[in-house]
Each structure stands twice: as structure tokens, then as C-alpha cells.
Amino acid sequence: MSLNRQGAELGQLQPAARRGMGQLRRQEELTGWLLAAPALILLTVFLIVPALMAFGLSFSDQRLLPGPQPTQFVGLRNYLRLFSDGAFLQALRNNLYFTIVVVPLQCALALGLALLTNQRIRGANLFRTIYFSPIATTMVVVAIVWTLLFNPNGMINAFLSWISLGAIPPVRWLAETWSAMPAVIIMSIWQSVGFQMVIFLAGLQEIPESLHEAASIDGANRWQQFIYVTIPQLRNTLVFVVVTTTILSFRLYTQVEVMTQGGPRGSTNTMVRQMIETGFGRLQTGYASAIAVVFLLIVLAVSLIQRRFITSERM
């Protein structure tokens, strides 16, 4: 009888316990949503809503300032106009050129610096601070300084003239179509490489030392350890760095606006600058919204392809 009574009591307690667990789970979910609410509200107001507005405006002839004619729905006219717009196509080519050069160079240089500063040597923290310090400086300030360096009478031409004993004449780095974009690339890599270096450094410090010791015991040299131990262990970090560097490269604007204003002859103009110039300079909000939508789709597609390619290559 006592066993039957205990079983009955347990049977009565189990539904109550399940109800208590369910209430606790709902309270945890509610707490999570409340904690995430500020971020979700900000993302909705400043990211999702503007993106939806841009998508809707891209199908209209909306202007920044109201004109004599009301805003009209124009369908795909803005998108068709893009692919016949020489300025936009040149900006797209410039973005691709910048990205193709910057992403591999910057990632490789950042990984090299991370490997150097990850060594147990005196002053490693000092070198990490030196390499990271440019990223802590405002891009506008850095661009102004490098504009002075690239000046025909600046330090870069003076250095080239000194090492060549005057054989290399002064170059107008920011005024020539062949040198303006490389000058922007050099400045951009110098300013941003510290960010990727810190991320790679964090990834390197998460690799167990026992893996390198085991590889060394098996006869692997430093290069083989780097290829078969370090790189596979950095797979997720590498994907993150490559994708974020690509996105930042496509967002190229500030240094171009400060150093070249898109010139000479559009050789450094970018999609972001073209979008801003169209929307705020020419007041063509609908057409600028179409540029923004195409820009978003291109960046999203490139990022997904990169992530898929790098992930499948490392598996």
C-alpha cells in the first residue's frame, strides 16, 4: 500500500514539476527577448527599415527635394539604367580592382604580423601596439597625412629621389590615373592591417601548443607545421577575416573622398561614392537607391561565395 501511495504522489508531482519547468523556460525566453530588445529595435530602425525603404524607392523617380511632378513608379528603369551608366560601371570596376588587390595582400600581411608578434620575444606587446595604432586613428586624419606624403613635394618622392640619386623624378601620385588607386591601396592596407592582425593573433593563441609539439616529434618542419597545423586550426578565423575584409573593401569611400574625390577621371571612384554623389549631389534619390540595392546584392553574393569556397577548401 505504501508503495502504491508513493507512486501516486510521484504521479501527482510530475505534472506540477513539468508545469514549473515550462514556466521557468518561458521566463528565460522572455528575459532573453527583453535583453535583446534594444539591439533589435536599433537594427530595425537603422538597418532593416532603411533597407526596405531603399528597395521601394529604387522602383521610383523619387528626388531628394520635391519637384514640380509627383513621384512616379518607374519599374525596373533605374536598374536598366545602371548597366548602361559608364560612371557606375567604372566605379564597379574600381571596387573590384581594389578588393582583388587589398583582400589577399592585407590578409597575408596581417597573418604574417600575427605570427611575428605571437612569438615569446621581448617587446612583443610594444610591436602589437605599434602595428595596431593606425586602426585607432580616424580615417580622415590618416588620409590627410598620406595625401601630404604623396604630394609631389612630399616625403615619398623625396625618399625615392634620395635612394635613386635623383634618377626618379617627382611623381604626382594622386593626379595620375595609373598611380592614384595604388596610392589609395597602400594607405588603406597600412591603416587597416592592424585590425586583421589582432583577430589572427587571437586565433593563433587558441591553437593548442601540443599540436605543434606532436607535429615536430613526427618530423615536420616550421613550414609544414604552418601548412598542416596552423592554417587548418585558423579556418574559422580565416573565413571571418576574409569576409569582413571584403565587405570593408567594397565600402571604400572616406579615403577616396579625402585624397582624390574620385579622380583623376574617375579612376578611384567607387560604388559608395557614386551612390552618395547621385543621391545628395544630383538629388536623384530613386536612382541612388537602385545603386544601394545592387551594391548590397553584390557584397552579399561575394561574401557568400568566399565563405562557401574557403569552407569547402578547408574541409
What confidence tens digit (pLDDT) does each residue in 85-125 have? 899 999 999 999 999 999 999 999 999 999 888 887 777 78
- pLDDT for residue 291: 93
CA distance 97 to 107: 16
Q: What tens digit of pLDDT does each residue of 54-97 get?
A: 899 999 888 887 766 777 888 889 999 988 889 999 999 999 99
The average pLDDT across 210-218 equals: 84
- pLDDT for residue 12: 55
- pLDDT for residue 72: 85
Q: Does 9 have pLDDT greater than 80? A: no
Between residues 27 and 144, the one the model is more confident about: 144
Burial class (CB in 10 A: 0-12, 13-18, 19+), 11: exposed
- pLDDT for residue 243: 87
Contacts of 145 (CB under 8 A, 6+ apart): none
When pLDDT is cut at 50, 70 and 90, the band that residue 184 belongs to is: very high
Q: What tens digit of pLDDT does each residue of 146-178 get?
A: 999 999 888 999 998 899 888 888 889 999 999
- pLDDT for residue 28: 82
- pLDDT for residue 220: 80
Q: Does 140 have pLDDT greater than 50? A: yes
Q: What is the DSSP letter of 208?
A: -
Nearest to residue 192, comparing CAs of 268, 136, 128? 136
Cis peptide before 169 (omega within 30 of 0): no
- pLDDT for residue 216: 85
- pLDDT for residue 10: 47
Q: Write down the residue that cell numbers 601540443 correspond to.
A: 210
- pLDDT for residue 121: 76
CA distance 315 to 312: 5
Q: Does 193 have pLDDT greater than 70? A: yes
When pLDDT is cut at 50, 70 and 90, the band that residue 11 belongs to is: low
Q: How many CA atoms lie within 13 Å of 67's alpha carbon, on the beta-carbon side?
A: 12
Q: Does 132 have pLDDT greater than 90? A: no
Q: What is the DSSP letter of 308?
A: H
* Least confident range of 21-35, 201-215, 254-268: 21-35
Element (H, E) at 88: helix 86-117
- pLDDT for residue 5: 56
CA distance 99 to 270: 11
- pLDDT for residue 19: 67
Cα distance between the two ends of the chain? 62
Global pTM value: 0.84
The average pLDDT across 276-293 equals: 91
Q: Does 313 have pLDDT greater than 70? A: no
- pLDDT for residue 96: 93
